[in-house]
Amino acid sequence: MVPPADQTMAKETVLATKLVAEFESFGVIIDDLGIIDNLRAMCKLYSLDESTMVDEWMAFACSSGNDIEITHSALESFEKELSAYRLSILASRLDREEHSLIDAYCTPEMKASKRLLKTPESDSRKLIKTPYKRTPASQIFSPNSYSPNMYSSRGNAGEILATLNMCGINDETINWKGHGIKTNVTAADPDQCLDEGYRYMFQKISERIEALRHQVSLVAEPLQEQHGIQELGYVDVPSQDGTTVIGRIGCDSNGRLNAASLVIAGYNPNRVCRSATPLNVKELSHFSFFPGQVVVLDGKNPSGNAFIASKLYQGIALPFNKIPLEKAKSYYPSDDSPMNILVACGPFTTADNLLYEPLSDLLKVILNQQPDIAILCGPFVDAKQELIKQGEINISYEDLFIKRLSEIIENVGRISTSVVFVPSTRDVHHDFIYPQPPFTLPSSLKTAPEIHFVSDPCTLIVNDVTIGLTSTDILFHMGAEETASPPGMSDRIGRLLKHLIHQRNYYPLYPPSEEVNFDRENFVNFGFMPVTPDILIVPSDLRYFVKDVEKCCCVNPGRLAKGQVGGSYARIAVLPPKVANQPVIDRIVSQVVRI
């Protein structure tokens, strides 16, 4: 018989292992045993399982603007907030129980008089105003105004953090210096190219509903055709016979999606489903769902109260863009000269100043390596940057952006590198709407033909390579809402990326995150993928990665600046094709590099 002490120790070891694994599924690596012990103790104290603990941490990091990597100071703040939240829930419950007990002994007249005697409570703290302090611009932009920071004192610049090599060649033989390849940058589908601003916040509810229904049909109809489904059933009609249905996954409450809260809004071109139906998934051995996902299911609804799913059909990706071999080879000067692509995502300055030191270092990398094309995703003027949030800046947001944009254009103008600028909804100077139009520039700022301004999201063709881009953190938003079975399924990031590819658009989550102002009608026009990209760039606060998903090279370059420290960027070498219809993924070497 195992002693109780040994049993307790074994349980704690298992809990610690599960915690580490669950955090790793979000790209958070925990090496500090002290942090693991604190997390395990909090799980026991607040009666949380490892999945709920990770959800609480991700919610805290997202709402407070902190990095998702766990430090001792951040964990201390998290524990204080979690403790306060749990105490508020307990106090609220006790208050309700107390009032329920008192009400049980009160007559109707006493209850009425109690309501009349209750007066609003005033909080004198609301009347206290904090004096506003503005930091002079000279202190913000001058490098002499502060002591050396964490960014400038880093010692691991240039470190290779992640690699994907599908060519079977030695990474060290790749020449990351550009070969002067002239890049032809065009929209994959001109009809789905958002090239100017539009009016938003003027949609009627009926228009939004129709746009959502149309969005579902764009995914549902190809699924029906690919799986050879002749006739669609109805999820809300009682039937003892099995049927095949298509619908959109939803949640029956405001909480996080789980197996018990699943509902499905049925899709059928012959009939509009007025309400969502509870979805029973107990017969499915494995699944991965998120709100807004369009799925094909076999099952039945014997009582009319819930649809019991017995089979989940696999999603289907769009085909890749095909280019004739001779045309594809014509873009490369020789068989051993790859097209080099550099990808970086903002913020481009650290949280403690507006000196844009990471951007300056990135420009040095670009000038040294001279990639054939550089893709820069916002935010450039980050709404979450500390000095900008506090208003401690004596320059307009637009002027700050133009200042940094001019710096980039001036430096890149010395070489032949093409540059693509992608906006972000975190850019405080730009339209806060998704899909987001390209940046608009003053007429006084002259740009060369090698400078391109595109929308978020967009699908581009660069010579013989199709590149999908979005600067909105869809992986973080979707990962916070996803539910999967069995629990602890491996490669959570891979699942989320596969969802993006199978749903055929850049933001399949519905309802969207509160951080995103969503225009449904324009998303249907400009948010879908015309083809499956050869390279899918999805910047995220999650851990950097380079992955092969459905023969698509998926890249999260990480943020160029993370808090007060440096982040990372990505570089991709695409070798010339050797045979016709050779997948681009089979001739790619990609790396994530620390700035």
* Domain-wise residue ranges, the chain: 4-84, 152-200+318-594, 228-312
Full-model pTM: 0.79
Lowest mean pLDDT among 102-111, 196-205, 352-361, 427-436: 102-111
**What is the pLDDT at residue 143?**
47
Q: Is the pLDDT of residue 91 over 70?
A: no
Distances (CA, A) of 533 to 215, 325, 469: 20, 18, 9
List pLDDT tens digits, range 507-560: 999 999 999 999 999 999 999 999 999 999 999 999 999 999 999 999 999 999
Q: Is-contact 504 415, C-beta < 8 A?
A: no
CB-neighbour burial class of residue 255 (10 A; exposed 0-12, middle 13-18, buried 19+): exposed
Specify the higher pLDDT residue, 443 or 63.
443
Q: Quick one: three-class SS letters along 135-172?
A: CCHHHHHCHHHCCCCCCCCCCCCCCEEEEEECCCCCHH
Q: How confident is the model at residue 566 (pLDDT cuts 50, 70, 90)?
A: very high
Q: Is the pLDDT of residue 100 over 60?
A: no
Q: What are phi and psi of 408, to 5 degrees?
A: -65, -50
Which residues, in sequence order, are CB contacts of 84 under 8 Å at separation 6+? none
Averaged pLDDT score across all residues of the chain: 86
Q: How confident is the model at residue 104 (pLDDT cuts 50, 70, 90)?
A: low
Q: Is the pLDDT of residue 355 over 50?
A: yes
pLDDT average, residue stretch 591-595: 96
pLDDT average, residue stretch 196-216: 87
pLDDT average, residue stretch 257-265: 93
Q: How confident is the model at residue 99 (pLDDT cuts 50, 70, 90)?
A: low
- Decide which of 2.40.50, 1.10.10, 1.10.8, 2.60.40 is the CATH code for 228-312: 2.40.50
**What is the pLDDT at residue 126?**
38
**What is the pLDDT at residue 144?**
47
DSSP 518: B
Express as a percent the part of the chain with pLDDT over 70: 86
Q: How far is CA 589 from the centre of its chain?
A: 24
Q: How far apart are CA 150 and CA 117, in angstroms?
A: 58
pLDDT average, residue stretch 484-495: 86
Q: Is the pLDDT of residue 141 over 80?
A: no
pLDDT average, residue stretch 125-132: 38
**What is the pLDDT at residue 552?**
97
Q: What are phi and psi of 73, to 5 degrees?
A: -70, -40
DSSP 532: B
Taking alpha carbons only, the member of 562, 454, 437, 389 closest to residue 188 is 454
**What is the pLDDT at residue 268?**
83
E-strand spans in 455-567?
Answer: 458-462, 465-469, 483-485, 535-537, 545-549, 552-556, 561-562, 565-566
| Residues 81-92: b if buried by 16+ CB within 10 A, e if exposed | ebeeeeeeeeee
E-strand spans in 253-347?
Answer: 262-267, 277-280, 287-289, 294-301, 307-312, 339-345
Lowest mean pLDDT among 19-33, 184-198, 239-253, 548-562: 19-33
pLDDT average, residue stretch 351-371: 95
CATH code for the domain defined by 152-200+318-594: 3.60.21.60
Task: State the CATH architecture for 4-84.
Answer: Orthogonal Bundle (1.10)
Specify the higher pLDDT residue, 132 or 432.
432
**What is the pLDDT at residue 138?**
46
Q: Is the pLDDT of residue 134 over 50?
A: no
